[in-house]
Amino acid sequence: MYRPRTRAFGAAAAAFALCAALAGCSQGASAAGDGKVVLRFTWWGNADRAARTEKAVAAFEKAHPNVDIRTSYSPYEAYKQKLATQAAGGDAPDIVQLDYRQISQYAGSGILLDLAEQRKALPTGQMDKSLLRTGQFEGKQYAIPMGVGTQALAYDKEAWREAGVPPPRPGWTWDDLESVLREVKREHDSPVMTDPGSMEDWFEVWLRSRGKRLYDENGQVAFSEDDLTRYWTYTSKLRKEGLVSPAEGTTQLDGSVENSPMGRKKAMAEFNWDAPSAGFESVYGDRLALAPMPAGENGTMGQYYKPSMLIGISAKSSHPREAARFIDFLLNSDKAADILTVDRGTPVNNRQRERMLPNLTGFQKAVADLQKSLEGKLKAPPTAPPRGDNALQSVFQKDYDQVAFEKASPRRMAQQFLTEARAELRP
């Protein structure tokens, strides 16, 4: 008597189960069927970094057959957004690459594992103490720097040679930059350099070379409207003279080679971070060279050594020991160092540093040489930027767009930026 009802229920239940099963298929990440430990590892970077990292991952998996590392990577902007969403949803990957600007946020919110818990699997004895401090938050080590980098001028050395201009040396000034650009332009008759006005990073170097800084100890803005107006007036002068890229080119900057004026061969030089400048190699080959950033009038250097990126473990990872072993392999082992070289900056592990640096070739040697030429000349790096800085970087670029397209004066946009910055940093 109840049979038909049971049948209907059965059919519906089966259909439901099928749906659930189908949905289930797309999941299934954490535990592979064959009892392997599965770890997720994400980073940002270009294709070259991806190739090197995959190779290092493969070497680790070969040595640890019970571990399966699933990798993914994307450009920085996209990476930042995706990771924040994942972390907010409690689904951060086991192993994450982080920027200096993200540390206070991620460590302070309990997303990262206190690495002291995995001290045995991940020894840090050979790492530079002051650098290790950049991965600490309230006295605990949450992340470990993967490499050291500094700001630089990447340029086409042939273009410089043809114009009869000598390579820039440590201590050259912002005024020198202007006259050098003028000389190179005389020879090539096109914009020489990507407009540096849209990036907060280069403004920071300019500020520091005048003895100032972006943020104070309380994470508040430490420069004045006059400072920013002066910087944007300086870059606008360069732009109006045709020495740097026009607004149409500058506006597309997003950290990728294909959207930068220099990468598209619309300019011959660009401020960048030292190791990531390797991206221009695919366009310029061995014509690519690195020079230090300009200094202030009294020779004050604005650039500094920064942990190029850090690496940490999710507090929710179910296999923190394996994750720690993997990080140990990446940062401390000869094998990984030989594969990764200075792609993420020069090594933090002192033994690897001494072993690697003398044997580098090509552009990687240029990175090492630049850092060597600056030894003892740079001032201490700024304290970790406040949380809101992440958003302000893109506000800076948007505001400069208005200046570059001559929709507003440097002073007006400097005013607006400071208003926005104060709102963003409001405690």
Partner 1 sequence: MPPTPTTSPAAAAAPGADGAGAAAGRPRAGGPGRRLGRSGGRPPRREPQGPAWIFLSPWVLGAAVLTLLPMAVSLYLSFTDYNLFDPPSWIGLRNYVQMFTEDPRLLRSVGNTLLYVLVAVPLQLALALAAAVALKSMRRGKDFYRSAFYAPSLLGASMSIALVWRALFNDGGTVDNFLSTFGVHTGGWVNRPGWALLTVALLTVWQFGAPMVIFLAGLQQIPGELYEAAAVDGAGRWRQFASITLPMLSPVLFFNLVLQTIQAFQVFTPAFAVSGGRGGPADSTLFYTLYLYDRGFTASHMGYASAMAWMLLLAIGIVTAVLFRTSRSWVFYANEEGH
Q: Does 402 bind partner 1 (CB under 8 A)?
A: yes
In this complex, which beta carbon is closest to partner 1, that of residue 105 or of residue 352? 105
Residue type (1 letter), 312: G
Cα–Cα distance for residue pair 347/401, rounded to 1 Å? 36
Does 300 participate in binding partner 1 (rule CB under 8 A)? no
In angstroms, give the least distance from the CB of 356 to partner 1.
35
Q: Does 17 bind partner 1 (CB under 8 A)?
A: no
The secondary structure of residue 125, as a DSSP letter, is T
Q: Are strands 67-74 and 37-44 parallel, antiparallel or unpaired?
A: parallel
Q: For residue 371, what are its two tokens?
A: 């850092």
Q: Which stretch binds partner 1 (CB under 8 A): 2-10, 119-127, 133-141, 207-215?
A: 2-10
Is position 190 an interface residue for partner 1 (rule: CB under 8 A)?
Answer: no
Vertex 117: Cα angle to 112 and 121 (nearest 5): 105
Residue among 263, 293, 348 nearest 150 (CA):
293
Q: Is 19 in the site for partner 1 (CB under 8 A)?
A: yes
Site string for partner 1, 87-126 (x = CB under 8 A): xx----------------xx-xx-x---------------
Q: What is the smallest separation between the CB atom of 282 and partner 1, expressed in angstroms?
A: 17
CB of 227 to partner 1, least distance (A): 22
- Is 231 in contact with 403 (CB distance < 8 Å)? no
Beginning with the edge strand found earlier in the chain, give each strand of the sheet holding 269-273 in spatial order: 269-273, 151-156, 288-291
Residue 9 in the binding site for partner 1 (CB under 8 A):
yes
22 interacts with partner 1 by CB under 8 A: no
Bridge partners, 42 (sequence order)? 72, 96
391 binds partner 1 (CB under 8 A): yes
Using the rule CB under 8 A, which residue among 165, 247, 262, 370 binds partner 1? 247
Closest contact distance (angstroms) between CB of 243 and partner 1 is 18
Among 158, 178, 254, 338, binds partner 1 (CB under 8 A): 254
Rounded to 5 degrees, φ, ψ at 181 are -55, -40
Q: Select 106 or 231, whichever has its Cβ closest to partner 1.
A: 106
Distance, CA of 149 to CA of 371 (rounded, Å): 8
Candidates 127-135, 226-234, 247-255, 311-319; binding stretch for partner 1 (CB under 8 A): 247-255
13 binds partner 1 (CB under 8 A): yes
Q: Which is nearer to partner 1, 14 or 51 (CB)?
A: 14
Binding mask 55-94 for partner 1 (x = CB under 8 A): ----------------------x--xx--xx-xx------
Contacts 24+ apart (CB under 8 A), 130-139: 131/307, 131/348, 132/348, 134/100, 134/103, 134/307, 134/310, 134/381, 134/384, 135/103, 135/307, 135/310, 135/312, 137/103, 137/104, 137/107, 137/108, 138/107, 138/108
Nearest-Å Rg of the Cα atoms of the chain is 25
> Residue 391 has which token pair?
């958003």
The minimum distance between CB 191 and partner 1, in angstroms, equals 13
- Report the interface residues with partner 1, using CB under 8 A: 1-5, 7-9, 11-13, 15-16, 19, 77, 80-81, 84-85, 87-88, 105-106, 108-109, 111, 247-249, 251-252, 254, 259, 264, 266, 387-388, 390-391, 394, 397-398, 401-402, 404-405, 407, 416, 419, 423-424
